[in-house]
C-alpha cells in the first residue's frame, strides 16, 4: 500500500512541478488572429545587434523592425526609405533628403540620427558589417533636420547601396546596438529566445496604409523538413529556405505556392600561399575540370544552374555574354593546362568543405570525382561548420567549397569574394593577391557613368577568367513557400533574395 | 542512512566538478572561435579587428587558467555567466528550458509505463506463445528504430496527411492548455516508443522471474485467483527493477532528447545545448552540461536511496 501511495504521489508531484514550471514560461508564441502572419524562420537570430552581420534570419527580423536610408523594391531597384531622395554633386558629395518619419517611441527621425549612426558604425571596434566601408566617410554634415551630406575621400558611385543593406539600418541617437526601437513597419512585441519573435504593426509607420498585417509571428523551424511540414500542415503561412528536394512538393500542393529565384552561388576558393594553387594555370585547370550540371543535380535537385564564370546573373546589365562559358567543362583542356603548369601526372591535395550542410558536402564530392578524372587526387576535409570557418580563415586547406550571396546585384557586391587585398577570410581565396582586380574594383566604385562601369567590370571579369581567384560552380535556387492566400510578398531578384523581408510590409493574408 | 547520503553527495560533487572541468577544457581544445563565428554569420567575412575587439569583450584573451577560475567562482556563487551571443543569463535560460525537457520525459515515461507494464506482464504469462512473440517483435522494432525516423513518420502521418496535430512547435500551457498538450503529444509518444520497449522487456523478464518464486507457488496452492496472484504477488514485486531502469533511463533522456526536440521544434534543454555547441558559446555549454550532470548524478543517488529504502536487503554501508 505504501509503495502505491508513493508512486502515485511521485507521479502527481512530477506532473505538478512540470506543469507549474511550464506556467512560468513567457507569453504566447503562436498566432493570435487572422491578420497575424506566421513566418517560419530557418534560425533564431544569434543577436539583435542591428549593424552586426548576424545572418539572413536576423536580417529578416531587422527588415521588419528597422529601416535604412534606402532599400530595394520587388524588381530589385533602389528605392527611398528614410531618405525620400538622394543625389550626388560633381565633387562626389552625396546628399540624402529625409522624409518625415517616426521612431517606435513616437519621436521624429532626424539627420542627427543618421550622422550618429554613421559615426558609430565607422568606429574601428564597432564590429559592424559596414564598418570597413563607412570608415571611408570623411565627414557628415547635417545642415538641417532633414538633410544629410556625406563626404568621402574619393567619389563613390556605390555609396547608396551601402545604406540599403539590412545590416545597415539607421538607429536613434544614443540607443544601444540591439535596441528595440526602430523606424520599421513592425515593433518588437516579444522575444522567446531560440523559439520565436513576435512583432506587431507600428501605427506611426511613414508609409500610408502600411503595414497591412496586424503582426508577424516569426517562429524558428531549424529543421528544413519540419519547416515544410509546418507549411503543409497549415501551422505557418510563409516559410523561408524551402529545401530544394521539397520544392516540387510545395509547387504540386494546391494550397501552397512557391516563389524561387537563383541568387546564392557555390564556388571554389584556393590557398594561394603555396603550390600547386599559387599557379593560375592550375586554377584554370580546376575551372575546366568540373561538370557543373552534376553539382546542380546532386546538391540542388536540379534547382539552380551551372555557373562557368563570375557570379554575375544573366539578367544583370553587367552580364558579359562572351564570358558566360569561360570556364566550361573541358577535361582535355584541363589536362593540358596541368601539364603546362608542370603537373602532367596530377597531384594530391586537400579540399575543405563541411559535413554540416548537405549542399556543401555534395558539391565537394562531385568536384572530387571530376578532379580525379584529370589526375587531381582530392582528399576531402569535412569538419562541422565552425571548424570549417576557422580553417578557411587560417588557410588550412588547398582548395575549398564555399557558398554565399553577393552584397547586392551591383558587381561591386562581389568584392567580398574576389578582392585579394581584403584581410584573410573563409569567403575568399587565402593569400591570393589580385592587384588588377582590386584596382578595377576601386575604379568601378569611383565611376558614375553606367557605360563606363560596364567596361570596367568587363575588364575585371576578363582578368578573373585568366587569374581565377575563384571558380564559379553553381547558382542555387532560394525559395519562399507560402499559403495560397498570402499576397503581396515577393522573393527579391538575384543576390537580393535575402532582402525579401522588406516585402512583409505589403504582405496580406486572404 | 544519513552517513550514506552524505558520502554519496560528496562523490556527486566531485563527479560534477570533474565533468565541468573536462567540458571546459575540451571546449577550448576543439577548433572554432566564438567571436569569429558570431561575426561570420551568413557567410560574411569577419573583420579581424572586430573579432579581436569581441574576443576581448568576451574575456577570451585572458589566460585559460584565469578563465577557468573566473568560471568556477561564478558557478560557486550561483552565476553561470551570460551567453556570448546576446548576453542572456545562462541560468535564466536553463530555468526556462529544463522544465520543458522534463515535461516531455515525464509524459513519455507515463505513456511508456501505461503500455509497457501491462504488455510486458501479458507477454510473460503467455511466454512462448504468439502473444509473447508478438510483443517481443514489436519491442525489437521500437527499440531499433531511430527516434528521428519515428518522429518524421509521425509528422508525415498526423500533421501533413491527417492534419490532426501540429507538425511541431511550442506554446506555454498557461497560454493555451489544449494547444500545449497537442504539441506535446507527438514528441512525448516518440520518446515513449523506445522507453516502452525497454519497460516491456524489463517487465516481462522480471515477471517471469517472480512467477518462479516460492511465494507465488504458495499463493497458487492457497487457491488464490490468477488475477489476484498477478496483481498482489507478482507485478508489485516485479516492478522494483523496472522502476530502477525507468529512473536511469529518464536520467539519460535529460541530455538525450536532442533529436526529438530538433525534429519537433520543442525548445527544451537538449536543443539549447546543441545550438550552444554550434556557436561555441562556452558559458552556455558548460552551464547546460553541468545542469544535466547534476540532475543525472542526483537521479542516480535518488534511485539508490529509494531502492535501499524499498528493500532493506540492499546494504547502504560500503563493505
pLDDT tens readout for residues B259-300: 888 888 888 888 788 888 877 888 888 888 888 888 888 877
Q: How far is A293 from chain B (nearest CA, A)?
A: 24
- CA A94, CA A149: separation in Å to the nearest integer? 6
Helix or strand or coil: residue A76?
Answer: coil
pLDDT digits (tens, 9 = 90+) for A40-83: 998 888 888 899 887 888 999 999 999 999 999 998 889 999 99
A4: pLDDT strictly greater than 50 = no
Inter-chain CB proximity A387 and B169 less than 8 Å: no
Alpha helices, H only, A423-489: 435-446, 450-467
The 8-class DSSP code of residue B161 comes to I
Q: Please give the residue that has the higher pLDDT: either A312 or B1.
A: A312
- Contacting residues of B for A225, CB less than 8 Å apart: 152, 155
Residue B190 contacts residue B263 (beta carbons within 8 Å): yes
Q: Looking at beta carbons, which residues of chain B come within 8 Å of A194?
A: 97, 267, 271-272, 275
Helical ranges in A262-315 per DSSP H: 280-289, 292-300
Q: Across the interface, do B264 and A226 touch by the CB < 8 Å criterion?
A: yes
A contacts of B179 (beta carbons < 8 Å): 30
Which uninterrupted H or E stretch holds A305?
strand A304-306
Q: Strand locations in A355-412, DSSP E?
A: 376-381, 399-404
The predicted pLDDT at position B46 comes to: 64
Q: Smallest Cβ distance to B174: which of A25, A131, A390?
A: A25
Residue A8 scores a pLDDT above 70: no
Q: Check whether B211 has a pLDDT greater than 90.
A: no
Contact check, Cβ <8 Å, B106/A18: yes
Reply yes or no on whether the pLDDT at A375 is more than 80.
yes
| Among A residues 28-47, those touching chain B with beta carbons less than 8 Å apart | 28-30, 44, 46-47
Mean pLDDT of chain A: 89
Q: Using the beta-carbon criterion (under 8 Å), do B155 and A222 form an inter-chain contact?
A: no
Q: Does B279 contact A at CB distance below 8 Å?
A: yes
Chain A residues closer than 8 Å to B257 by CB: none
CA-based nearest distance A235→chain B, Å? 6
pLDDT (average), residues B236-253: 82
Instruction: Determine contact: A128 vs chain B, CB below 8 A.
Output: yes
pLDDT band, very low/low/confident/very high, at B3 (cuts 50, 70, 90)? confident
Contacts of B271 in chain A (CB under 8 A): 194
Which residues of chain B have a CB within 8 Å of the CB of A132? 47
Contact of A403 with A268, CB cutoff 8 Å: no
Q: Is the pLDDT assigned to residue A466 strictly greater than 90?
A: yes
Say if the Cβ atoms of B172 and A26 lie within 8 Å. Answer: yes
pLDDT band per the 50, 70, 90 thresholds, residue A15 = very low
Asked if pLDDT for residue A9 goes beyond 80, the answer is no
Arithmetic mean of pLDDT, B236-254: 82
Q: CB contact, 8 Å: B265 with chain A?
A: yes
Q: What is the largest CA-CA distance in chain B?
A: 86
User: What pLDDT is attached to residue A14?
Assistant: 40
Collect all residues with Cβ–Cβ distance below 8 Å to A51 and sequence separation of at least 6. Answer: A120, A121, A126, A127, A128, A129, A130, A167, A168, A169, A171, A177
* pLDDT for the residue numbered A352: 96
A342 part of contact set with chain B, CB < 8 Å = no
Whether B47 has a pLDDT exceeding 90, the answer reads: no
The cell numbers describing A498, all together, are 535575402
User: Is the Cβ pair B31, A226 closer than 8 Å?
Assistant: no
Residues 140-169 in A contacting B (C-alpha not used; CB under 8 Å):
none
**Phi-psi sector, A44: left (phi>0), alpha (psi -120 to 50), beta:** beta
Chain A CB within 8 Å of residue B45 CB: yes
Q: pLDDT tens digits, residue range A298-310?
A: 999 999 999 999 9
Reported as a single tens digit per residue, the pLDDT across A174-233 is: 999 999 999 999 999 998 888 899 999 999 999 998 999 999 999 998 888 889 999 999
Q: How many helices (H) and strands (E) does chain A have?
A: 15, 19
Q: Which residues of A touch B49 (CB under 8 A)?
A: 124-125
Q: What is the pTM of this model?
A: 0.79
Place of cell 529504502: B309
Q: Is the pLDDT of residue B256 over 80?
A: no
Average of pLDDT values for B31-55?
Answer: 70
Residues B282, B286, B289, B295, CA torsion sign: negative
Q: Is B310 on the interface with A (CB under 8 A)?
A: yes
Q: Cα–Cα distances in Å, from B170 out to B262, B287, B318?
A: 12, 23, 46
- CB-nearest to A221 from B102, B171, B265 is B265
Of A125, A384, A427, the CB nearest to B44: A427
Which among A201, A343, A229 is positioned nearest to A284, based on CA atoms?
A343
In this structure, what are the phi and psi dihedrals at residue B266, rounded to the nearest 5 degrees? Answer: -90, 115
* Tens-digit pLDDT profile for residues B56-94: 777 777 888 888 888 788 878 877 788 887 778 888 888
CA closest to B167 among chain A residues: A230
- Inform me whether the C-beta atom of residue A249 falls under 8 Å from chain B C-beta atoms: no
- How far is residue A484's CA from residue B77's CA, in Å, rounded to a whole number? 54
Of B167, B236, B310, the CB nearest to A233: B167
Query: Which of A3, A127, A223 faces B263 most closely, judged by CB atoms?
Result: A223
- Strand pairing report for A36-41 and A256-270: unpaired
The confidence band for A325, taking pLDDT boundaries of 50, 70 and 90, is: very high
Q: Is the pLDDT of residue A1 over 50?
A: no
Q: How confident is the model at residue B42 (pLDDT cuts 50, 70, 90)?
A: low
Strands, DSSP E only, in A89-222? 94-98, 137-144, 147-152, 186-192, 196-201, 215-220
State the pLDDT confidence band at A145, using cuts at 50, 70 and 90.
very high
Is B251 in the A-facing interface, judged by CB distances under 8 Å? no
In this structure, of A147-161, A206-220, B78-92, B166-180, the range with the lowest mean pLDDT score is B78-92
Residue B252 confidence (pLDDT): 79
Q: Which residues of B touch A223 (CB under 8 A)?
A: 262-263, 265
Q: Give residue A390's pLDDT band: very low, low, confident or very high (50, 70, 90).
A: confident
- Mean pLDDT value across residues B167-188: 90
Has residue A20 got a pLDDT over 60?
Answer: no
Give the mean pLDDT of A408-436.
90
Measured distance CA(B81)–CA(B90) in Å, rounded: 6
* Amino acid B5: pLDDT: 78
User: Is B50 in Cβ contact with A127 (below 8 Å)?
Assistant: yes
Question: Who contacts A417 (Cβ-Cβ below 8 Å, separation ≥6)?
Answer: A267, A311, A402, A404, A406, A427, A428, A470
Task: Please name the residues in contact with A323: beta carbons below 8 A apart, sequence gap of 6 or more.
Answer: A309, A310, A461, A462, A465
Average pLDDT over chain B, rounded to whole? 83
C-alpha cell recorded at residue A250: 510545395
Which one, of B84, B8, B80, B9, lies nearest residue B291 by Cα? B80
Q: Which residues from A are below 8 Å from B86, CB to CB?
A: 46-48, 178, 193
* Chain B residues inside the 8 Å CB shell of A44: 275
Asked if B265 and A26 come within 8 Å (Cβ–Cβ), the reply is no
Q: CB distance from B157 to chain A under 8 Å?
A: no
Q: Which of residues 178 through 217 in chain A touch B, CB cutoff 8 A?
A: 178, 192-195
Closest by Cβ to A25, choosing from B30, B38, B172: B172
Taking the Cβ of residue B312 and every Cβ of chain A, the question of whether any pair is shorter than 8 Å is answered with no
**Cα–Cα distance for residue pair A60/A428, rounded to 1 Å:** 25
CA distance, residue A345 to nearest chain B CA (Å) = 35
CA distances from B210 to A149, A422, B136, B213 (A): 89, 75, 19, 5
- Is A142 or B254 the better-scoring residue by pLDDT? A142
pLDDT at B45 exceeding the cut of 70: no
For position A128, what pLDDT does the model report?
85
Q: Check residue B313 and give its pLDDT.
A: 64
Helices assigned H by DSSP within A68-215: 111-122, 131-134, 159-162
Sign of CA dihedral B123, B125, B127, B130: negative
The helix/strand/coil state of A315 is: coil
Q: What is the pLDDT of residues A492-505, one digit of tens each?
A: 988 899 999 999 99
CA–CA separation, A461 and A379 (whole Å):
30
Q: Cβ separation of A423 and B179 shorter than 8 Å? A: no
Helix (H, G, I), strand (E, B) or coil at A157: coil
Integer Cα distance of A117 and A175 in angstroms: 10
- The answer to whether residue A31 scores a pLDDT higher than 50 is no
Please give the Cα distance from A93 to A112 (Å, whole number).
18
Cell numbers representing residue A59 in the block: 536580417
Amino acid at each position: 500500500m505504501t509503495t502505491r501511495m508513493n508512486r502515485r504521489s511521485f507521479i502527481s508531484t512530477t506532473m505538478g512541478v512540470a506543469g507549474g514550471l511550464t506556467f512560468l514560461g513567457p507569453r504566447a508564441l503562436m498566432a493570435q488572429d487572422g491578420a497575424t502572419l506566421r513566418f517560419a524562420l530557418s534560425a533564431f537570430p544569434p543577436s539583435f545587434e542591428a549593424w552586426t552581420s548576424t545572418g539572413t534570419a536576423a536580417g529578416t527580423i531587422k527588415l521588419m523592425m528597422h529601416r535604412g536610408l534606402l532599400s530595394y523594391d520587388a524588381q530589385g531597384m533602389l528605392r527611398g526609405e528614410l531618405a525620400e531622395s538622394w543625389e550626388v554633386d560633381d565633387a562626389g558629395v552625396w546628399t540624402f533628403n529625409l522624409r518625415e518619419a517616426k521612431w517606435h517611441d513616437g519621436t521624429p527621425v532626424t539627420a542627427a540620427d543618421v550622422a550618429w549612426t554613421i559615426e558609430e558604425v565607422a568606429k574601428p571596434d564597432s564590429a559592424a558589417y559596414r564598418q570597413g566601408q563607412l570608415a571611408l566617410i570623411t565627414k557628415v554634415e547635417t545642415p538641417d533636420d532633414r538633410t544629410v551630406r556625406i563626404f568621402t575621400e574619393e567619389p563613390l558611385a556605390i555609396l547608396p547601396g551601402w545604406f540599403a543593406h539590412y545590416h545597415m539600418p539607421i538607429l536613434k541617437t544614443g540607443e544601444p546596438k540591439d535596441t528595440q526601437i526602430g523606424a520599421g513597419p513592425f515593433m518588437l512585441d516579444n522575444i522567446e529566445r531560440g523559439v520565436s519573435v513576435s512583432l506587431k504593426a507600428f501605427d506611426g509607420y511613414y508609409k500610408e496604409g502600411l503595414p497591412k498585417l496586424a503582426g508577424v509571428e516569426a517562429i524558428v523551424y531549424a529543421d528544413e523538413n519540419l519547416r515544410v511540414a509546418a507549411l503543409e500542415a497549415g501551422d505557418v503561412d510563409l516559410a523561408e529556405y524551402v529545401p530544394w528536394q521539397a520544392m516540387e512538393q510545395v509547387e504540386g500542393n494546391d494550397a501552397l505556392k512557391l516563389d524561387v529565384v537563383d541568387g546564392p552561388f557555390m564556388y571554389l576558393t584556393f590557398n594561394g600561399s603555396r603550390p600547386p594553387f599559387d599557379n593560375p594555370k592550375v586554377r584554370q585547370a580546376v575551372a575546366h575540370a568540373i561538370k557543373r550540371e552534376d553539382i546542380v543535380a546532386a546538391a540542388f535537385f536540379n534547382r539552380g544552374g551551372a555557373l562557368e564564370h563570375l557570379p554575375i546573373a544573366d539578367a544583370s546589365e553587367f552580364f558579359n555574354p562572351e564570358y558566360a562559358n569561360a570556364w566550361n567543362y573541358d577535361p582535355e583542356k584541363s589536362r593540358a593546362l596541368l601539364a603546362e603548369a608542370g603537373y602532367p601526372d596530377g597531384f594530391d591535395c586537400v579540399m575543405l568543405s563541411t559535413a554540416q550542410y548537405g549542399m556543401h558536402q555534395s558539391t565537394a564530392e562531385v568536384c572530387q570525382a571530376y578532379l580525379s578524372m584529370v589526375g587531381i587526387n582530392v582528399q576531402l576535409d569535412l569538419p562541422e561548420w565552425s571548424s570549417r570557418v576557422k580553417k578557411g580563415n587560417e588557410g588550412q586547406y588547398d582548395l575549398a567549397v564555399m557558398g554565399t550571396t553577393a552584397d547586392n546585384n551591383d558587381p561591386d557586391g562581389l568584392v567580398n569574394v574576389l578582392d585579394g587585398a581584403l584581410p584573410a577570410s573563409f569567403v575568399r581565396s587565402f593569400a591570393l593577391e589580385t592587384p588588377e582586380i582590386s584596382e578595377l574594383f576601386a575604379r568601378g566604385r569611383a565611376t558614375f557613368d553606367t557605360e563606363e562601369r560596364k567596361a570596367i567590370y568587363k575588364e575585371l571579369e576578363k582578368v578573373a577568367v585568366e587569374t581565377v581567384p575563384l571558380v564559379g560552380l553553381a547558382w542555387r535556387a532560394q525559395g519562399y513557400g507560402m499559403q495560397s492566400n498570402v499576397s503581396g510578398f515577393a522573393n527579391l531578384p538575384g543576390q537580393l533574395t535575402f532582402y525579401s523581408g522588406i516585402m512583409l510590409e505589403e504582405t496580406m493574408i486572404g | 542512512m544519513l552517513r550514506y547520503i552524505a558520502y554519496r553527495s560528496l562523490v556527486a560533487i566531485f563527479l560534477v566538478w570533474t565533468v565541468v572541468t573536462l567540458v571546459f577544457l575540451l571546449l577550448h581544445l576543439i577548433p572554432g572561435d566564438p567571436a569569429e563565428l558570431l561575426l561570420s554569420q551568413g557567410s560574411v567575412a569577419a573583420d579581424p579587428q572586430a573579432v579581436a575587439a569581441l574576443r576581448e569583450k568576451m574575456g577570451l584573451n585572458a589566460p585559460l587558467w584565469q578563465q577557468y577560475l573566473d568560471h568556477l567562482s561564478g558557478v560557486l556563487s550561483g552565476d553561470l555567466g551570460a551567453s556570448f551571443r546576446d548576453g542572456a543569463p545562462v541560468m535564466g535560460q536553463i530555468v526556462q528550458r529544463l522544465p520543458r525537457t522534463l515535461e516531455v520525459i515525464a509524459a513519455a515515461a507515463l505513456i511508456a509505463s501505461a503500455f509497457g507494464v501491462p504488455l510486458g506482464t501479458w507477454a510473460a504469462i503467455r511466454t512462448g506463445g504468439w502473444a509473447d512473440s508478438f510483443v517481443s517483435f514489436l519491442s525489437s522494432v521500437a527499440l531499433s528504430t531511430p527516434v528521428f525516423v519515428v518522429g518524421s513518420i509521425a509528422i508525415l502521418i498526423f500533421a501533413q496527411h491527417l492534419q490532426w496535430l501540429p507538425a511541431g512547435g511550442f506554446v506555454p500551457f498557461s497560454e493555451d492548455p489544449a494547444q500545449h498538450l497537442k504539441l506535446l503529444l507527438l514528441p512525448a509518444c516518440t520518446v515513449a516508443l523506445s522507453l516502452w520497449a525497454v519497460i516491456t522487456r524489463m517487465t516481462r523478464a522480471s515477471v517471469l522471474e517472480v512467477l518462479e518464486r516460492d511465494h507465488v507457488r504458495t499463493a497458487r496452492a492457497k487457491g488464490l485467483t490468477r488475477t489476484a496472484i498477478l496483481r498482489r504477488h507478482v507485478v508489485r514485486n516485479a516492478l522494483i527493477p523496472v522502476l530502477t531502469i525507468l529512473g536511469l533511463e529518464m536520467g539519460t533522456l535529460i541530455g538525450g532528447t536532442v533529436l526529438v526536440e530538433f525534429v519537433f521544434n520543442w525548445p527544451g534543454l537538449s536543443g539549447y545545448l546543441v545550438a550552444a555547441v554550434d556557436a561555441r558559446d562556452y558559458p552556455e555549454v558548460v552551464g547546460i552540461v553541468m545542469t544535466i550532470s547534476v540532475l543525472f548524478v542526483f537521479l542516480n543517488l535518488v534511485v539508490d536511496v529509494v531502492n535501499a529504502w524499498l528493500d532493506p536487503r540492499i546494504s547502504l554501508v560500503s563493505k
